[in-house]
A and B are shown apart, each in its own frame.
Chain A
């Protein structure tokens, strides 16, 4: 009897809880309020472009819901899609739009506009086809939840473009950038000490990437000390208590300097001497073994 009553209540309670859960949980999963998934759940939704490349417009909704942007509705980002069904032409997503989800931490509408504005005024914000957009470096943000790029991935990302001499010479950027980085102690420490050596973004910042001639660039002569040996750098264990001259020791274009150019020449000369010495001593030693 008691058992029976208890189980009855339990069933009731379970139904109630389940109902409540559905009622409160559903909005946070962002139901397909814009009815976009109706069509976009079909895997066959793809179009062959004029260039022959197939573009898939399939959206894996389960995956999308689990992503970092899963609680944003489609149209928050795809603002140019105003009616359903929609027109073919539409504008690219602008990552700087104000998203009308309230951020719990900030207590106001969330937006990337600060980063977006910084980015747009940086060197990379240039509207040429070679400069990166947000998605070049952040494809994962439309993907896994909270996935962060590893430091190695960031390094590879920057290097992908900056190793390409042809594109870089178009913008009058020194072509040996990546190579000079790889020759540096920063790179060595990066590879050998758990990725702790400075990578591109540690020096250049992530979004405020500017030429060194720009006054606000972290790599500007006036900011160099702050970047390499300032408070933040000291917290990260970078160059504490350094002398002001030392911060000039890293420079991608060092090879152009006369002293360093001779150093490279001296090195290759010594390498030649090593090989010559190796063969010379081997031959002499063999002759000596025969004679003695």
Chain B
């Protein structure tokens, strides 16, 4: 992470932002088309399909969005591997790695909720955000796999038994709702509705955080960046 010349902290790269935008757009499309497909017997489901006049068309849009999600997931893994191999610095500091500190933070946070301790200070990603990331990833991966099986039932049944086809139908349908509830109530809360935030969170769009926001939400990372800048400056001075 870096501090830019305007005093803003670069939190996300262009690549990360693009992946995130593609991912959530595809997720929103597949939710809009998927929920009426799941609840098509209910009034709003029926009305949705009257609006579109075609189930097959809606299903095609849903499938296309699903492929986009799958692509985004694969691209994300690919870019991690790429960066891993290219930059040494990345291998040293993997922000998303779960550490012992996260467990400590978690315990301390619970104590904080019960007025027993001060709020723990977080790095670039708090344990909340790490959990959101991994759980969303796993759920999306499961949805993508079960969705693929349904999108190509004939190929799928040549490879796996028919009961797996039916199991994946059930899993896809119920996990999707789990995913929606999780994203709305955990991820959106942690990053967007969080009462501690000073400003509207625009990291997903501009990729930057202000200094006071950094201090408040990501204190450890803020300190690390400042210290590194000081170190670099000293190093530079020594060389000069």
Contacts and interface: CB of A to CB of B under 8 A. Distances in A.
A259 B164 contact: yes
Given A192-B55, A245-B157, A285 B189 contact: yes
A254 interface: yes
Interface residues of B, number: 39
Interface stretch (B9-17, B80-88, B170-178): B170-178
A189 B170 contact: no
Contacts of B178: 270, 273-274, 277
Interface stretch (B21-29, B69-77, B180-188, B207-215): B180-188
Q: Which of B41, B166, B185 has the largest count of A CB atoms less than 10 A from its CB?
A: B166
A188 B55 contact: yes
Contacts of B154: 239, 241-243, 246
Given A274-B177, A288-B195, A259 B167 contact: yes
B199 interface: no
Dominant secondary structure of chain B at its interface with chain A: helix
Contacts of B196: 292
A291 interface: yes
Interface string A222-260: 000000000000000001011101101100001001111
Interface string B158-171: 10011111110111
B49 interface: yes
Q: How large is the interface on A (under 10, 10 to 19, 20 to 34, 35 or more residues)?
A: 35 or more
B49 to A, nearest CB: 5
A264 B55 contact: no
Given A245-B157, A249-B153, 14 more contacts: A188-B40, A188-B55, A193-B54, A193-B55, A246-B157, A258-B163, A260-B163, A262-B167, A263-B167, A266-B171, A267-B174, A277-B182, A285-B185, A292-B119
Interface of B: 37, 40-41, 49, 54-56, 58, 112-113, 119, 153-155, 157-158, 161-167, 169-171, 173-175, 177-178, 181-182, 185-186, 189, 194-196
8 contacts: A192-B40, A245-B157, A246-B162, A249-B165, A259-B167, A260-B166, A264-B170, A266-B171
Q: Considering the complex of A and B, which 4 residue pairs feature the smallest CB-CB distances, nearest first? A: A259-B163, A192-B55, A281-B185, A263-B167
